[in-house]
Structure 1
Amino acid sequence: MKKTKIKLRNLVLYQVYVRNFSEAGTFNELINDLDRIKSLGIDIVYLLPIHPIGVDGKKGELGCPYSIKDYRSINPELGTMEDFQKLIDEVHFRKMKIMIDIVYNHTSRDSVLRNNHPEYFFRNKNNEITTKVPDWSDVVDFDYKSSKDLWIELTDILVMYSKMGVDGYRCDVASFVPIDFWKFARKAVDKVNRNTIWLSESVHGGFVKYIRDIGYKCYSESEIYQVFDMAYDYDIEPYYQAYLKGERPLKDYLEGIKRQEEIYPENYVKMKNLENHDFDRIASYVNQDINKILNWTALNYFQKGAVMLYAGEEYCADIKPSLFEKDLYKKHEDISDFIIKLNKLKKKKIFAKGIFNIYIPEIDGVAYNTVENELDKYIGIFNVGQVDSEITVDLPDGKYRNYLTKGIITVKDSKIKLKKDPIILHIKK
């Protein structure tokens, strides 16, 4: 959006699925861990949906949190509305913000709105209330053309949570919801908190095409920036996964990052993440190779945009928790200190306002990026493929200190011998 501040690129989000965050799976247990979360350098605690889950057609034993029965209520598994208010207050007390998941493309099949206002919902050619995506069998879609009353109701819900102190909204499959609705809702929420942060879960380009091909409206990420402050990195995420699966070279992913500069607004903010509730964890992709994990983590931070960690990522958790069952993540190696270093670096103004450049090395499996302004330059070299080789750099020969390890990096004949560790160099101009 035109008024989006680029300082949002300095933010670090921490994604929490409350049900699977602790044995109790409650807001109160999350409160007990806020000091640790804050110590990581987190700016925003982002919660997956917190509302009651529908029963009709539910998936798994406990159902999917994205199949919402009542937006105005709290899932009793997690606590009460009073508990949620306490969580908001405790997050604010620690100088962090809180963001919640908003699911406005659909509700559960037995939702309060579906029962009270069936006219708000999408119907197929047989006049049946249903969803446009067959695999989403536990939900039914809204029809935003049906009534302005629907727009008012959904906006009033956002206003209610903003008045409680919610600082931001992660909007599920926002590409499916009319941009004019988001503009309408944002205008109302701005009257409560003009600094509300709007994060779009825009969808993969292939999914955009699929939805359009079956005859429905779906917005691209470029269009999403008309109203949202931040968008997911789903335009390049397929290249990231394809590299990890051995299907494509790393350069395809790096070129995708470069292309973002060409196709998005000047003040665009991407939300960079290696994993989330929908995708496998980086530790599982690289078979718990700690060196690859560290290099990927550092590369993720070194890009132009905010960063999101999925709870457990700081412990190299390798199993993606089920959305539908009680399924706690398991702790492996603790890289919290490494993440704290990266978070401190991410907060520097240069990572919001600097000039970013992505280079494509001759050898695959290595990223070579820079960010600079008139005073400073940071150089990042990330050996995500653990390649045994050397890389050509634009630096005078000499010795430099690695910001991440404090080790000495030698440049000889404009080349650096690659090591297992990620490298970040700070050059004063």
Structure 2
Amino acid sequence: MADDTSVKLRTKQLYCIFVRNHTKEGTLRALVSDLDRIKNLGTDYIWLLPINPIGEVDRKGTLGSPYSIKDYRKIEPTLGTWDDFEYLAKEIHDRDMKLMIDIVYNHTSRDSVLLKTHPEWFLRDDSGKLFPKNPDWSDVAELDYDNKDLWEYQIETLKQYAKVVDGFRCDVAPQVPIKFWEQARQSVSEVKENILWLAETTGGDYIKVQRDKGFWMSTDSESYRAFDYAYDYDIDQTWHDYINGKTELKTYTNALNNQELIYPNNYIKMRALENHDNDRAHKLFTNENDLINWLAFSEFQKGSSLIYAGQEFGMSHKPDLFEMDKLNWDKHELELSDLIKRMHELSQDSIQYMGAYQVTPESNDLVKVSFEQSSHIRVGIFTLRGNCGHVRVDLPDGEYTNLLDNKPVTVYRGIVEIEYGPVIIEGNV
């Protein structure tokens, strides 16, 4: 991890917005009307999916993917202008939030400004044709970072945005050489200090496939040399195997605990139940009680947290990236805003971003997460498949208060009885 990354960044909550689909107008300025509500969730950073012009050649769908970018240095006209972008940034800052934008540096669209002006900056096969490392990415042209002039152009672009924004979420960051990201971080810091760098890291299987083809791919450990945050895709397959009944809870909790050993001491994982690439959490967990427990468990894990717009209302439909697909803000499938806000409040306590952390599987698919600092302990217990049970905790017998709903919780003979809701209690050992 970047040596100067503060572990206090584990307290930050990100809120992700796809501008096209977020409001009726689908513009940058229209977002301003929703900022106060978003702020009230506990949001620290608003992350905008790419806001640059979208390519037309080999476009997917009617409107194209925001990740097929025609010009890094311009704003997509249907979203607004550069002035609109700066206006939104000011409104976000006026509410004591920060702005993060998506940076897509592995590839451009197939009719991009760079492809026209610098065709030598792109990856090609032996016949000179554009060559995608991932065959599914048929609408993009992949950049070749063997060209150091490309580095200079890309870093200058980041400096331009750094005058306005406070963070960069870097798409498929491991496919861009880590030395580029290290240089970019250093150069951008000369424009603005304390820029937050989030890497969309990838799972081990994908890393192996690309390395076998002879391409650069960073592991999460390597990514931490330049980035503050990394996705938790390193354990994503294990997580899906557990929720799909293909493996036991212990296998998943072992993977979580192993992150404590294989990453730097100040590592930060961005914890998320859903994002723009994956199914909504309410689609994965149709039982509402399970969804509540999984949300609380996810946000109680060590790291930062991500909310994908609409998740706070239990939306089960994932918006289409290639078509107009507006969020239905009138339909609240499950109200989760208060839980999100409370979990964020708890994450501000030093015990949760500095304390010793352990995840323990319990019987009946219950899981216990504990943080210890000095003689103090905070314990969260979550039922992941709607089961009741009994969980042993390292707290003296007595009456405690569930920090989520202020209801009493009894510890008797070192045991807590769990029904269906998440429980978080604390005390001195």
Normalised to the residue count of structure 2, the TM-score between the two structures is 0.97
Deviation larger for 387-396 or 6-15: 387-396
Structure 2 spans left out of the alignment, 5+ residues: none
Aligned counterparts of 1:381 and 1:213: Cα–Cα separation in 2: 42
- CA shift digits 1:174-206 (9 cap, x unpaired): 000011111121111000112001100011111
Aligned counterparts of 1:360 and 1:305: Cα–Cα separation in 2: 19
Matched, 1:34 2:32: no
Report the counterpart of residue 194 of structure 2 in structure 1.
195
User: Residue 364 and residue 233 in structure 1: after superposition, are their counterparts in 2 closer, same or farther (change >3 A)?
Assistant: farther
Deviation larger for 217-226 or 403-412: 403-412
Matches within 5 A, 1:18-417: 18-145=19-146, 147-163=147-163, 165-287=164-286, 289-330=287-328, 331-361=332-362, 363-417=363-417
Do the aligned partners of 2:351 and 2:378 also contact (CA within 8 Å) in 1?
A: no
Aligned counterparts of 2:375 and 2:91: Cα–Cα separation in 1: 39
Aligned counterparts of 1:244 and 1:353: Cα–Cα separation in 2: 29
Aligned counterparts of 1:211 and 1:365: Cα–Cα separation in 2: 36
Task: Give the drift of 1:346.
Answer: 1.0
Aligned counterparts of 2:43 and 2:192: Cα–Cα separation in 1: 21
Do the aligned partners of 1:250 and 1:364 also contact (CA within 8 Å) in 2?
A: no
Aligned counterparts of 2:211 and 2:233: Cα–Cα separation in 1: 17
Aligned counterparts of 2:342 and 2:412: Cα–Cα separation in 1: 27
Structure 1 spans left out of the alignment, 5+ residues: none
Q: Determine helix, strand or coil for the equivalent of 1:181.
A: helix
Query: What is the percentage of aligned positions where both structures have the same residue?
Result: 44
Do the aligned partners of 2:15 and 2:309 also contact (CA within 8 Å) in 1?
A: yes
Do the aligned partners of 2:170 and 2:197 also contact (CA within 8 Å) in 1?
A: yes
Letter in 2 for 1:231: A
Q: Which runs of 4+ in 1 moved over 6 A?
A: none
Do the aligned partners of 1:108 and 1:140 also contact (CA within 8 Å) in 2?
A: yes
Do the aligned partners of 1:245 and 1:285 also contact (CA within 8 Å) in 2?
A: no
Task: Give the drift of 1:399.
Answer: 2.2
Do the aligned partners of 1:45 and 1:96 also contact (CA within 8 Å) in 2?
A: yes
Aligned counterparts of 1:306 and 1:134: Cα–Cα separation in 2: 32
Aligned counterparts of 1:49 and 1:354: Cα–Cα separation in 2: 36
Task: Give the drift of 1:364.
Answer: 4.5
Aligned counterparts of 1:380 and 1:133: Cα–Cα separation in 2: 40
Deviation larger for 319-328 or 48-57: 319-328
RMSD: 1.2
Task: Give the drift of 1:130.
Answer: 2.5
How many pairs are equivalent? 425
- CA shift digits 1:222-270 (9 cap, x unpaired): 1111111110011111122222222222222211110000100011111
Task: Give the drift of 1:306.
Answer: 0.6
Letter in 2 for 1:80: T
Task: Give the drift of 1:305.
Answer: 0.6
